[in-house]
Every structure is written in structure tokens, then in C-alpha cells.
Amino acid sequence: MRLNTEVVTKKTGCPTVGYVAGIMTPEVAETISPNIKNGCPWDEVYPQWREKPVIWVRFKKPQRPVSKEEFFQQVPQEMLEGKSEEDKDMFYQNNVPILKMALYPFDDLEEF
């Protein structure tokens, strides 16, 4: 995989197409985005993700990098108890920003 390669995500985050904007070691990725260090959802889908590069993907258009389903799997369920679907939607929107770029494990991307 090279810089500017067009890629599509397979299993993590929202399905999206973007371009490889950077390639880094997992250690560097963890300093850029500390949330992938602890409780990273990548651990469940790609247990060996720390053995390969992490890819910085620039989206074709800004978007939320995590689907609602993926986000709510990581939120303690007691935080969602008693909330209406509208409240849950607002909670998602307030906690998952719209971004131009995001990090992905190498194995989650394929050339488009």
C-alpha cells in the first residue's frame, strides 16, 4: 500500500472510500490517537493489528469515522438506559465528530 492509494474500509468504522495519507507504526499511531491504545475495538476484529502499519486515511468527503453501532458497543450500557432513540442519536452526534481523516488498521483496508 502506498501514499495516495485509493482504499475502502472492510470491517471497522463506517464503510468509506478514501486515500492513504500516511503510513505509521502502531506506536506512533497510539501517540496521535490515544483512544486506540486502551479498549480499542480493533483488538476484537484484528487481534494482531499492532504487528502491522497503521494507515492514516483521508476521506473523499468529511464523515464520522465510527458507525452508531460500533460506537454504542463501546459505551457503558448504563449511560444509555432510559434514553430515547432521539437522545441516543444526539449522544452519538455530540461524541463522534465529523472528520476529514482517520486511522485504520492495515488489515481493514483494501485497494479500491
DSSP class per residue in 71-91: HHHHS-GGGTTT--HHHHHHH
Please give the order of strands across the beta sheet that includes 99-105.
99-105, 54-63, 17-24, 6-9, 109-111
pLDDT band at 39 (very low <50, low <70, confident <90, very high): low
Distance CA 105, CA 18 (A): 14
Read off the pTM: 0.84
Span 45-56, pLDDT tens digits:
899 999 999 999
pLDDT tens readout for residues 60-101: 999 988 888 888 988 899 999 999 999 999 999 999 999 999
> What phi and psi values does residue 3 have, to the nearest 5 degrees?
-55, 145
